[in-house]
Amino acid sequence: MTTAAPAATAADFTRWAEKARTMTDAELLYSARDCRQAEAAMLGHCSALL
């Protein structure tokens, strides 16, 4: 059995927003693409477990 990751908190979102303000457009695009790829990988992994 796997355990779910803890949910993001308001403090997490505040930290992420502060970090994003310091990033270039290229860094933001890279980060967004990386997140989408990670999501797709996790969805594929999770559906394989069902």
**Structure confidence by residue, pLDDT tens digits, 1-50:** 566 667 889 999 999 999 999 999 999 999 999 989 998 888 887 655 55
pLDDT of residue 46: 61
pLDDT of residue 26: 98
Q: How far is CA 22 from CA 14, 28, 36, 44, 47, in A?
A: 13, 10, 21, 32, 36
d(CA 18, CA 21): 5
User: Is-contact 15 23, C-beta < 8 A?
Assistant: no
Q: Which helix (H) or strand (E) holds 36?
A: helix 25-49
